[in-house]
Structure 1
Amino acid sequence: MKKISTKIATFILIGIIISACETTKRVPNGKQLLTKNEILVNDKGTKDDDVHDQLYQKPNSSILGYRLRLNLYNIAKPNPDSSYKAKFTNNPGKYERMSKWLSAKQVDRLGESFWYKGFHEFLKKTGEAPVIVDTVRSNKSLLRLKYYYFNNGFFGVKTNYKLDSLSPKKAKIKYTITTGNASFLDTIKTSIKTPALDSLYQGITADAYLKSGKQYKTKDFEDEKNRISTYFRNNGVYQFQPNYVTYDLDTLNTENKVNVDLKISDFSVQENDSTRTEPFKIYKISDVNIYTDYSATTVNTKITDSITYNNFNLYSHSKLKYRPRAITDAVFITKGSLFADTKTVLTTRYLNNLKIFNYPTILYKVDERDSTASSLIANVYLSPQKKYSLNPIFNVTHSNIQDIGITGSLSGTIRNIFSGAETLQISGRGNIGSSKEMSNPESKFFNVSEYGVDLKLNIPRIWFPFKTEKIIPKSMIPSTQLSVGLSTQTNIGLDKQNFTSSLSYNWTPTKNNTARFDIINMQYVRNLNPQNYYNVYESSYDALNDIAKVYNTEPSYVDDNGNLKIEEGTSGFTNAVLTDQTALKPEDQEYQDVDNIEERRIRLTENDFILATGYTFSKTTRKDLLDNNFYLFRTKIESAGSFLSLVSNVANLPKNQNGNYEIFNLEYSEYIKTEFDFIKYWDLSKEKVFAFRTFFGIAIPYGNANNIPFSRSYFAGGSNDNRAWQPYRLGPGSSGAVNDYNEANMKIALSAEFRFRILGDVKGALFADAGNIWNVLDNVTDDKAKFNGLSDLKELALGTGFGLRYDLSFFVVRFDLGFKTYNPANEIHKRWFNDYDFAHSVFNFGINYPF
């Protein structure tokens, strides 16, 4: 019955859409729907977005050629109120009958309900009214096209348009543009009245936007204005503004050439009702005053504490609460230096980054003590945030591991804790979640939990015994972060305790670049329930149990059903095989399988100690969250265990029976790991974006280790990776994900996504994800799971699919459906499109975009 209902609903929906497919349904008689704009430039068609953006009228939006929003609008009743009232006007008895079991007031209100009115209002709001050809707007489009080409140097441009009727209610418009010859800049001279400014300008002519021989573009003139103004204001010319730059253009008696006279007038001074001019002055900073506890209530109160430190004057209305250096390190405006906008911006940015003040205010005034009136006093006003604050957080989350998680935390912040603008954050956190991938014999919905405590201390400078100013100057806004964390997890059945601590330096080499150096990154992972391994990793148990049914000779190892007991039977049988107490020999495949199963068990249940050092660098051209034309590059290198091995070698410490060094009776990890991540966005206009990502990561064990800890390994699949596979269910290589949680030490991932608007805040996406994981240079022996050369790139899995996104402004809710397009786990002739159906598809739910 359910299937029949679904089919009926589908047919009804299709019928509604088909009924609305007459796109001219709401086009009034005598009017025409605009179906296409065609632009011919010098008899050649153009699809240049900048040119088409000049048009006032554009056809209704479409998705793959289908005008969905227009058709939704056509479905809606134009006047649902009148339609509702007409039901009773044509049938008065119906109103009386309805009023008997509903009051007359309720009958009238029914006409305002969603079904009778709201639904149609929703369709009209979500849809798009037909774009009717308007000749007035077409003529305005001609003017804009003319201005566009004029501003690009085509002074003799001619424009026209023609209306082509396709049917009584449909038409397209053809715009024709004849540009003529372009004009180019010829002689360029300057007339700068203030000698000091003329001298400054002569030093920056090499980077001018206006150069002889360059095609005329109005934008270049505006850019040159802003370039000159920026340079002057960063070199002491406090009063300068772009409007002081003007141009005289001469096109008379020249053939497609423009002579330019760049003029900069003197400073205009307003005095009462008159105006006079005087030469611009180059200002120096005579004093820097910092008010450390400014507020609206303290404006007229007396300063009670002050200090002068390194030519900075610090003031407070109560006892000064900060070590002077903590504040002055954040101020780049210095006594005796030239006024510079960049220093103002940098100071504001650094002070804001301290996170102990509200947004700072910096004001300048002319120093009346200077007889030449060419000095400025810089006043920096700082409004402190509260010293103590609490921040409760409650979140519903989704990740590659958890289908759903509920997270809560309570963090307390202490600002300026050591009087050096340091910030200490203490937080307690807890999480419960559900994952169908977990071992869950009792079928509990919430089968994942974690709780812990974290301490983070942020120091707004490089905390180091020696000065680092020459290596990392304060203009790079350096900071030091010390953190300690302890957590207990119940998440993969083994249960873990996790202790972490780190000491890291962060800085910003340039505006769009960030760097992080983890001088110490320590992690200790303790498995609390290793005996539960075979309950969690059921595939390993099944493989071992199948072998035991053939070769086990010890009755006490199995239960009444002949299956290995956990833990007694699994460990007993494994030990019997590896100590030659069974018929299996080392050269037998089953013997090697048991050896591999035991090796993996040991690796995933042993405690890990990682002491690493790492460096991360990222660069982006993204300007803000709305920028959809940028790239982001991130690289990371991490080395673990090398310092401990150096100490062990120098101290000539003994090795254990495995030939490895230990610390606290635990073999520590030793490896080197590197990652490269590149993301590129292309804005295709009209709310269409193409996004691409490529990732490569590899971690190579050496010295004291022959494998990578689980927490530092790679996995494939999931909502932020290859969306046609569940997390941990892809790879390694062509092995077919034989384990419950498949991971490896090398990963390649590539993703491409085409995003487009569907309706309002609902957006769609078509995507393709390729990638896999492999084992390389470690102790894994399965050839299918190893990367042996470039020929193994044929094991890159490919998933394709489509998705929906709903933009809630502060985050995006995402639904993706991925299909296994190329599955390297299948036989070679069955890899393409073998599992390409809904039965093998994977539904993903995510928050925000995958990359």
Structure 2
Amino acid sequence: MYFWIKIISPLKRISAKISFIILIIVLLYACDSTKRVPNGENLLVHTELIVDGKTVKKEEVINLIGQKPNTQFLKLPFSLYVYNWASPNPDSLFAEKFIKDTLRFQRTSRLLSEKQVYRLGESFWYSGVHKFLKSNGEAPVLIDELRTKKSLYKLKSYYFNEGYFKVTATEKTDSVGLKKVKSTYTVTLGNPYVIDSITRKIDSPVLDSLYLLTENRSSVKKGEIYNSGKFEDERNRLTAYFRNNGVYNFQQNYISYEVDTISTGDKANINLLIGNYSYRSGDTLVSKPFEIFKISEVNIYTDNPNLKSSSKITDTITYNNFNIYSSDKFKYKPKAITDAIFITKGSTYSDFRNNLTSRSLANFKIFNYPSILYQVNEKDSLSNTLIANIYLSPRKKYSMAPSVDLTHSDIQDFGITANLSAGIRNVFNGAETFDVSLRGNIGSSRDNANPNDQFFNISEIGLDAKLSFPRILFPFKTDNIIPKNMLPSTQISGGYAKQKNIGLDKENLTGSFTYKWTPKRNNSINVDLFSIQYVKNINVSNYFNVYQSSYDALNSISKNYDVNPDYYDENGTGDLIIESGTDGFLNDVLGDTPTIFPTEEDYNDIKNIEDRKSRLTENNFILSSSFSYSTSTKKGILDNNFSVFRTKIESAGNFLSLFSGASNQPTGPNGNKTIFDVEYSQYIKTEFEYIKHFEFRKNSVIATRAFIGVAIPYGNSDNIPFSRSYFAGGSNDNRAWQPYSLGPGSSNAQNDFNDANLKIAFNTEYRFKIFGQVRGALFVDVGNIWNFLDNIDIEAAKFTGLSSLEDIAVGSGFGIRYDFGFVVARFDIGFKTYNPANEIGNRWFREYNFSNSVFNIGINYPF
């Protein structure tokens, strides 16, 4: 038998290799890139741009070339292959197979009706699959002379606008194979032109005076190389500057430049031209100097008669120089509306105030986006004042929205969540909103300790309510600290949730009082004046069913000693009975009158098991305050060059400590102070996160994230509540480890749900297009969690200084994503590249294989 295996095994390997080679040959034949290239045409396989003798790969310039080869991945045009796999005429193939073949048509018609046979041609198998392949692939890029000429024109225009007025460009096409060509663009720049002088001719005295105040901020400067982009920037800057300083009727087209290069060598003389305001009066074109406009009147229409032409004004209020009109009974407190309006009587017209008013009113969430129109005040003899008419379109006072979602999380493999939310707008006539939501969830979890052979074995029900005010609720005025142009708001929220068959089953009661405002665009600040969370474990007896590793360790240790036989299940497994046996053994070792005296090592392990059980089964009462700040440079959903910074600091237990001390509250079983017979948590926690995305090239992005967070217990606590701790691993963290299965430190994830109070994480991901809507990613995830300044005594889990950084885990891998447009489905596979749980010297690449890999499913990008 031994020799038989020895002989046959190499043959099997050779056979497998031959089969693999044949498969590759077949695939390469099927993936012939010129398969759909017509005779007489050529496939463009390579494009090169040479500028002044140097190859240029700058994405901005390369994109000017209208014809570029098909998208490649690993040097292969997979998008073209996908397109080629599709039949060019699936309808003809179907007709040839079924319609023209009379016998086959008759046989098929006996099984299906004739109508169903014809409809087969529209099915996915005969038609849809080919449409899918074409839509997700790329048609072959064929060399085209007209598009080449357009590319040359764009290249010359680009460099001309960069100041190279004598630029020339040519293109050469070379054959590189059967029906394959490469295209080489050659650009010769010459010397750039430098701005030698700048003069101006501004006809309107008002504009000339304004210009002199801001001339030093000009984007166009003497001595710099001519760049048309800077001229466009200057036109935008001046237009915004003039309009924000009262020049209501100014438009960008009034600004032009004369560029004189005649007999100047390689220098350019610039003349800025701004003409007078021109308008048509009857058949006559009238021109006059620009003027600064002021606001003479502000009218607010609370139910938008502009949309109800037949409506009549029935209610009018004048408040703080605002005229407020309504066609029905007035429903709003005047101050609530006018506080959101920054266009005031007597002020100078400003686009900025106009836009800020629109944002502020839309932020109320009781109106649709407002309409703001201006008209020249005809009663003004000088015709330089404006009437501002603000039209508000109220949303419905009551709303209700049911929803059903399919979910996946670290707790449940599959879940169905139903949500019924209702809202009331303008609750107290001050633009307040009240939202309430009832939610229920049923899910399936392989980690559930009591599945009872049911697919849906976990559930949760919850009720959440939130009351929002579009202002800061405070006993004193805060306008000097947080002005209303920062769009301040106050939220009072509360919620209740009950979980079943999730861990120890919990009741969770929450409440918060929060201030929010935006110091400037894309910046936000949140201040939780207070946040309350009360967590009650309602199935403590289930602990050792949930935390199986703790049970296994305790059960194994117990069998080394003379333990009460009543603690064991003699008729079943012979293991400790949960809960009478486990608690009895723990009491015999750690109780006031111990009867079992284990070794020091076993005693420490038992003590750690008991400490963790006590921590995870105790109820938590957390009263905290926090400050959060975030800023982003992202300009839109298509922006791939941006950064995000977030930070948060949270403090818990200080107020409760004062209250408990002053009211002589009793101490709990651990000797700590209590509130309502619950030991409250006291800690300080801070987090920093930085995310950076930049476009590496077209259709490819490099995304990075750095995170550090630490929560330090003190006073009434010597550890951090599980709900405020950190974990490592999972689809949005280190993807080479399952959630909660990494760390702390090098302790090899001894528990079922490993957590700690210090976390460091770094992630880098290279995202690229493969074909169609299919995207790929290569990633490296770095980080771990540690115990820091808490009561955990396991040395391998503790952070003791810079030397502990050698316990940072490294995971790497790749992912496939499909972009549906509104959501991205993500499939990642991570490999343990550096595992700190292994012995030193055996940490790198020891588990870098598919058998130890982790497959992750996620929705949208991880960061």
TM-score band, normalised by the shorter chain?
over 0.9
Residue aligning to 1:64: 74
Match of 2:381 in 1: 371
Residue 613 of structure 1 pairs with residue 651 of structure 2: no
How many Å separate the matches in 1 of 2:192 and 2:612? 72
Counterparts of 2:129 and 2:508, CA distance in 1 = 53
> Is the aligned partner of 1:20 residue 2:35?
no
Task: Confirm or deny: 8 A CA contact 2:260 2:270 kept in the other structure.
Answer: yes
Corresponding residue SS for 2:299: strand
1:632 is matched with: 644
The answer on whether the counterparts of 2:71 and 2:770 sit within 8 Å (CA) in structure 1 is: no
Residue of structure 1 equivalent to 2:765: 753
1:712 corresponds to: 724
The two structures have a TM-score, normalised by structure 2, of: 0.94
Is the 2:561–2:598 contact (alpha carbons within 8 Å) kept by the matching residues of 1?
no
Judged with a 3 Å threshold, the aligned counterparts in structure 2 of structure 1 residues 725 and 89 are, in CA distance, closer, same or farther, namely closer
Q: Is the deviation greater in 399-408 or in 224-233?
A: 399-408
Per the alignment, residue 554 of structure 1 pairs with 564
| SS of match in other structure, 1:805 | strand
Tell me the distance in 2 between the aligned counterparts of 1:288 and 1:9.
Answer: 81
Matched, 1:156 2:134: no
Aligned equivalent of 1:690: 702
Q: Which of 403, 415, 418 is the aligned partner of 1:408?
A: 418
* Cα distance in 2 between the residues matched to 1:20 and 1:405: 42
Q: Which moved more, 1:431-440 or 1:52-61?
A: 431-440
Q: Distance in 1 between matches of 2:808 and 2:189?
A: 51
Name the stretch that deviates more: 78-87 or 330-339: 78-87
Of 738, 742, 746, 1:734 maps to 746
Local SS of the residue matching 1:214: coil
Residue in 2 that maps onto 1:839: 851
Q: Which residue of 2 aligns with 1:517?
A: 527
For 1:574, which of 567, 570, 586 is the aligned residue? 586
Compute the displacement of 1:319 (Å).
Answer: 1.7
CA contact (8 A) 1:552 1:582 kept: no
Q: Counterpart of 1:268?
A: 278
The 8 Å contact of residues 60 and 128 in structure 1, kept in 2 or not, is answered as yes
Paired residue type of 2:134? K
Distance (Å, rounded) in 2 between the aligned partners of 1:10 and 1:385: 64
Aligned twin of 2:798: 786
**Selected match of 1:812 from 808, 824, 827:** 824
Please, which of 471, 477, 482 is the counterpart of residue 461 of structure 1? Answer: 471
Match of 2:351 in 1: 341
Cα pair 2:588 2:596 within 8 Å, conserved? no
Distance of 1:110 and 1:403 partners within structure 2: 37
Give secondary structure in 2 for the equivalent of 1:446: coil
Q: Output aligned runs, 1:116-195, within 5 Å.
A: 116-195=126-205
Q: Equivalent residue for 1:443? A: 453
Output the CA distance in 2 between the equivalents of 1:260 and 1:680.
39
TM-score, with length taken from structure 1: 0.95
Q: Which region of structure 1 is more displaced relative to structure 2, 808-817 or 493-502?
A: 808-817
1:556, distance to aligned residue in structure 2 (A):
2.7
Aligned to 2:435: 425
One-letter amino acid of the counterpart of residue 549, structure 1: K
Distance 2:312 2:113 in 1: 72
- 1:288, 1:333 within 8 Å by CA — same for their partners in 2? yes
Displacement of 1:751: 1.2
Is the 1:289–1:315 Cα contact (8 Å) retained in structure 2? yes
Moved more, 398-407 or 702-711: 398-407
Distance 1:486 1:240, change over 3 A: same
Gaps of 5+ in 1: 1-5
1:312 aligns to what?
A: 322
Q: Percent identity?
A: 56
Give the C-alpha shift of residue 421 in structure 1: 0.6
CA displacement at 1:23 relative to structure 2: 1.9
Q: Supply the RMSD in Å over aligned alpha carbons.
A: 2.5
1:817 alignment partner AA = I
Q: 1:768 aligns with which of 780, 784, 798?
A: 780
TM-aligned CA distance change 1:538 to 1:212, over 3 Å: same
Could you tell me how far apart the structure 1 residues matched to 2:99 and 2:636 are?
Answer: 57
1:724 shift after superposition: 1.5
Q: Is the 8 A contact 1:234 1:341 kept in 2?
A: yes
1:766 to partner: Cα distance: 1.5
Tell me by how many angstroms 1:336 deviates: 0.7
Q: Map 1:282-297 onto structure 2 (within 5 A).
A: 282-295=292-305
Q: What are the Cα deviations for residues 192-217 of structure 1, in whole angstroms up to 9, with x where unaligned?
A: 11111111111111211111011111
Q: Distance in 2 between matches of 1:90 and 1:286?
A: 81
2:316 and 2:674 map into 1 onto residues whose CA distance is: 56
Residue of structure 2 in register with 1:661 after alignment: 673
Residues 81/485 of structure 1: CA separation in 2 closer, same or farther (3 Å cut): closer
Change (3 A) 1:699 1:107: closer
Q: CA offset at residue 399 of structure 1?
A: 1.6
Secondary structure of 1:344's aligned partner: helix
Partner of residue 204, structure 1: 214
Return the match for 1:30 from 8, 30, 40.
40
Q: Is the 8 A contact 2:72 2:78 kept in 1?
A: yes
Take 1:491 and 1:838, find their aligned partners in 2: how far apart are those partners?
32
Cα separation, partners in 2 of 1:553 and 1:136, compared to 1, 3 Å: closer
Opposite residue 162 of structure 1, the aligned amino acid is: K
How far residue 131 of structure 1 moved from its aligned partner, in angstroms, is 1.6
Unaligned runs of 5+ in 2: 1-15
Q: CA deviation at 1:125?
A: 3.4
> Are residues 77 and 304 of structure 1, via their aligned partners in 2, closer, same or farther at CA, if it must alter by over 3 Å?
closer
For the 8 Å contact 1:584–1:591, the answer to whether it is kept is no
Match of 1:3 in 2: none
Deviation for aligned residue 1:440:
2.7
After TM superposition, the structure 1 stretch with the greater mean CA deviation from structure 2, 710-719 or 286-295, is: 286-295
1:325 aligns with 335
How far residue 113 of structure 1 moved from its aligned partner, in angstroms, is 5.1
Between the aligned partners of 1:348 and 1:564, the Cα distance in structure 2 is 68
Give how far 1:611 is off: 0.4
Task: Give 1:833 deviation, angstroms.
Answer: 2.0
More off after superposition, 657-666 vs 796-805: 657-666
Is 1:598 the counterpart of 2:610? The answer is yes
Equivalent residues of 1:551, 1:582 under 8 A apart: no
Deviations 1:446-494 (A, max 9, x none): 2221111111000000000000001100000000000011111125331
Cα distance in structure 1, aligned partners of 2:530 and 2:35: 69
Matched residue type, 1:558: Y
1:643 aligns with 2:646: no
**Corresponding residue number in structure 1 for 2:834:** 822
Give 1:629 shift: 1.0
| Partner of residue 600, structure 2 | 588
